[in-house]
Structure 1
Amino acid sequence: MANDVGAPIMAGATQVEFTNALLNKRRLIRAYKNPLDKCTIISIFPRALDEVKHTIEPGYFHIDAGSRERPSTLVVGSSSWWKDIDADQPMLEIPNSSIQIAGSIIKDYCNGMLGCDMGEAMPGLFFVLGEKSLPQIIMEYKKKLDEMEKKQKNWYNILVKLADSLWARTQGNPLVIWDLMRVAAQDLGMDRPWIKDFQSAELVRCAFCGGMRNNAYPICPTCKAIDPKHPLAGEIKFAL
């Protein structure tokens, strides 16, 4: 953070230029940061995470993809935002501790994930106090890693069930399958027809109801009419 008048600062990923004549007379003075105020975010989630907080500085956080055998880590410290008190006074720095920052990164990312309940089913992300190395994490937090692996597998099971339902209801349309659903099935060792990358199914309008249907199947899912031109139409038998 620059203390010079008129110098740009970085707040998240957005550069703020103090070009206004009034603001140019005011200084942003950052307080001394506690070097012990650190937390380590630990991830066994098999996807990289990029989180941006536009109103604080520093506000960009990147966590590499991790696994149970080799978790990825990110050490975070405190971040600050500035409150405008009075036009004739310097802006007041409002610090946020590393605990707040680490918790916010995890909660903001996981809360919007499909099937995540932030309790027993969620991505494998958590944080611990202090700056920890990978050997320390593997030795000292084995129980927590096992717990988060269980929660991540619970979340994976939810994703697989949702994928099965979506696949059946759309007659095998690959567009409804989220990439993490495939990751979940592979991690759980499940063989599903939607795991592979499929080409988009060609949808045509039903001649009877006008709804969209998959031309690879003879029966319309909307009106249940049978396409007489389909090669399997003559083989359809109904229960008496």
Structure 2
Amino acid sequence: MYKNVKVVAFDADDTLWVNETYFREAEHEFAKLLCSFETENKIDQELFQTEIRNLEMYGYGIKGFVLSMIECALELSNKDVQGQVIEKILDIGKEMLTKPIDLLDGVEKVLSSLHGKYRLIVATKGDLLDQERKLEKSGLLKYFHHIEVMSEKKEGDYKKLLSHLDIKPDELLMIGNSLKSDVLPLVNIGAEAIHVPFHTTWVHEEVTKQDALNSEYKTIQKITDILEFL
């Protein structure tokens, strides 16, 4: 099925290592800080809306998330939030940035098996400094030919990546946990994609069943399953 594939690209967060779980924990801590102003459900909704509004300015990643938490705290409190709360929000962000890298089961086995057979790359989005730090701490850098940290993962962004790698669409296989970012854009440009679901998905990355209905891609339950096809 993947006979033309020359480059295998891996998403990073929640494909190679745990990430989204830390955001859910941070959101819960944030809600506890502001519980005197609103319910946790309302705080979650307001924070999400603030994040989406700020995406174009801050992009993806922990630093933009922290700035959105501060902005949200000011709005929910009508600018009455105490400096100590802002300080605790900053501490939440710093703790996220220093989390250990928890590799998902089977990741290193897959990379070591494919290394040398294909050009392996990372194609992820987020904050450049943070993603570089995580890759360094992960111990996985030795497996990768190229690291691409993208501001977005849409069809146009992947076409630029294909041009940079000097390969045809069907020579690229993308592996990731997000249908919206790692699978559907690839299928739409004629590349290959394998979906490896993670138990937690950010609402912004969810797609409707209709969006995914007519797209041809493979879904596997664990990353080691790709070794059956490659």
- State the TM-score bracket (shorter-chain normalisation): under 0.3
Structure 2 length-normalised TM: 0.26
Structure 1 length-normalised TM: 0.25
Larger RCO (alpha carbons 8 Å, 6+ apart): 2
